[in-house]
Chain A
Amino acid sequence: MKIGIPRALLYFYYGPFWESFFKRLGLNVVISDSTNKAIINRGIKVAVPEICVPIKILAGHYLTLAQQNVDYIFVPRMVSIRKRQFFCPKFMGLPDMVKHSLNFKEKILTCDVVSDNSNISNYRNYLPLAEKLGKTKKDIKIAAQEAEKDWLQFRKFTQLGYPAPKAYELMVKGLNPVKINPKPGQIRIGLLGYVYNMYDPYISLGIFDILQENNVHVTTFDMFSENELRNVTGNMSKVLFWTFSNYLLEAGLHLFNSDQVDGIIHLTAFGCGPDSFLGKLFELESEKKGIPFMTVRVDEHTGENHLVTRVEAFTDMLKRSKAV
């Protein structure tokens, strides 16, 4: 049996768990290719025009997988990974959206994912899959427990400072990497963005490469452990509703207040509702702390030149001010 997983959205955070989980159940796993023009064009055709670009891209990945002879496409309903906080409604409604707008109902493999922390390996989440996959409760439990180990290893590597795709690769190869620290003379930038925007080179237009070419040490929210960030909410009387937005908020406030970075870039997809709050909060914090802050807004039309110019200009100026 072949299970398709899109290389999009939370793949860049939970992919290592899901891939390992299905493989340990003895299933074939097909991961869609890195986003390319054909995938995004497929997505744009079916998605409503107003929706954010990561969802359009996701739709393209689903359609691409559907053409790859897979038996099922995995579309989990991500509900909550923190008490009284939830995912963006687009995540919660994803299985319905896919069912009704992409027209491959019988191929959808779905379950609700609920947890009280970012570790979603509790096997009970995945029991609804057992029947379709022809597996027992015990099979599911064992596979989830094994996959959890892989995921924790992957998370450990991201916390050593490796961008998620690199951490994934290191985990698969079974390597034991060392922590990445800023090299002397390097500019340190905090890159705040959702995993699916940062790590999809098509959306981010290869921002990691551009930063690397500019000799920048990058810190992202997923390079912190959940506990490091918990309760870093500054002067906010309450937190936001959306979990990953809160992760970014906490990481941002932490970075603005801990002398770890020279500047902060907020990478956001055009039309992201939660990010409109985040952006303003970062802006205010930047003014308060005197740490330069820049918003980079991307959507399907973004030209690479635009991004390269902005990132280059930003790092240039940080370097120049540091040199003075």
Chain B
Amino acid sequence: MSKVFLGIDVGSVSTNVIALDHNYELLFNYYARTSGQPIESIKTGLEKFHSQYPDLIVAGVGTTGSGRQLAGVMVGADVVKNEITAHAVATTHFHPEVRTIFEIGGQDSKIILLKDGIVVDFAMNTVCAAGTGSFLDHQAERMKIPIEKFGEMALKSKNEVRIAGRCTVFAESDMIAKQQYGFTKEDIINGLCQALVRNYINNVGRGKKLEPPFAFQGGVAANVGIRAAFEKEIKHKVIIPKYFGVMGAIGAAILAREKIEKSQEKTTFRGFGALQTEFVPKSFTCNGCSNSCEVIRVTAGGKTIAVWGDRCGTWKEKMKQSLSEAI
């Protein structure tokens, strides 16, 4: 029976569950919209994997993404890692020479700068999602073009059209104006791709020295129009990693494998049976002091198994005590 390592990336928009075999090949890949229900998406992903490969042994699990803590507690992850490290690890595994990673997901985008395999700097978009996948989704829908065709159409453009990319509201009115002028859909879509990339490089990458080789990953990397716009904007070839859409989850799996192999310990994975337990995250405002921390408490089968968000650690301490008393 062969062993696999699982990686789970719980982002704001999507949840990925992947399995890597011993050759670091992607064996299984599950993608779902998180839709505010990370627990359900993780469950479904893992159950799908288990029904497809009931004989494979899970030797380790890693979680990443903004929901990594919750996911980690739920599955009993060996490694819970930030998405920067996860993405960087996955990319340097497949393309060790890369110095700049462009990552654009559904609602966030980041630039990771590497030097000798070390993350030396990174930036993430903050509140504005102007340069991300959900904006493209919205425009594709408005123009009645399937999102999968979006990129190809952009490549057929014959004329330069400049679309304002700073803000989606302006971009949209600009696109409508250009349509009324009589520009083709292809030209407008191409203009939009370029605007998105320009906005991303100027905002997320502001003040950063972007050095080649470049890698472009995240869900939006599927869009050939955006790829082309990147190469045009930075005047350099861009590498698209083979599994560009699930690099975060792959990174988490690689990190879990490293940890298990180094420590020679058994995985802390709770197993597929444990998925039947009911996990409930609840938040409350602690009034213990004037910090008024928003504390998250996760219970499994009625028992508190994780707490975070308290600056002072009171609630974490309480949980530890009650857990040790229970034992």
Contact = CB atoms under 8 A, between A and B. Distances in A.
A292 interface: yes
A314 interface: yes
Nearest to B82: A309
Interface in A25-54: 36-39
Given A36-B291, A37-B291, A305-B66, A312 B120 contact: no
B116 A310 contact: no
A317 B88 contact: yes
Interface residues of A, number: 24
Interface centre among A295, A316, A318 (most CB of B within 10 A): A316
B290 A317 contact: no
Interface in A272-324: 292-295, 304-306, 308-310, 312-314, 316-318, 320-321, 324
Given A36-B291, A38-B290, A324 B117 contact: yes
Given A309-B84, A310-B84, A320 B117 contact: yes
A36 B289 contact: yes
B121 A316 contact: no
A310 B289 contact: no
A196 B85 CA distance: 29
Interface string B75-88: 00000011111001
| Interface of chain B, main secondary structure | mixed
Given A37-B290, A37-B291, A292-B120, A313 B85 contact: yes
B149 interface: no
Contacts of A314: 119
Nearest to B262: A323
B291 A313 contact: no
A313 B311 CA distance: 21
B261 to A, nearest CB: 12
Given A294-B120, A295-B121, A308-B82, 8 more contacts: A38-B291, A39-B290, A292-B120, A306-B124, A309-B84, A313-B119, A320-B117, A321-B118
Interface in B47-90: 66, 81-85, 88-89
Contacts, number: 54
Interface residues of B, number: 22
A36 B290 contact: yes
Contacts of A294: 120-121
A317 B117 contact: yes
Contacts of B82: 308-309, 312-313, 316
B138 interface: no
Contacts of B290: 36-39
A318 B311 CA distance: 27
Contacts of B88: 313, 317
Contacts of A317: 85, 88, 117-119
Contacts of A312: 81-82, 84-85
A320 B120 CA distance: 13
B242 interface: no
B122 interface: yes
B22 interface: no
Which 9 residue pairs spanning A and B have beta carbons closest together?
Answer: A38-B290, A313-B84, A317-B118, A309-B82, A316-B85, A317-B119, A36-B290, A36-B291, A313-B85
B156 interface: no
Given A36-B290, A38-B290, A313-B85, A318 B120 contact: no
B292 A37 contact: yes
Contacts of A39: 290
Contacts of B81: 312, 316
10 contacts: A36-B291, A38-B291, A293-B120, A305-B66, A313-B85, A313-B88, A313-B122, A316-B85, A320-B117, A321-B117
Contacts of A38: 290-291
A36 B120 CA distance: 31
B237 interface: no
A314 B114 CA distance: 11
Nearest to A324: B117
B15 to A, nearest CB: 18
B270 interface: no
A129 B115 CA distance: 55
Interface in A234-260: none
Contacts of A313: 82, 84-85, 88, 119, 122
Given A309-B82, A312-B82, A318 B118 contact: yes
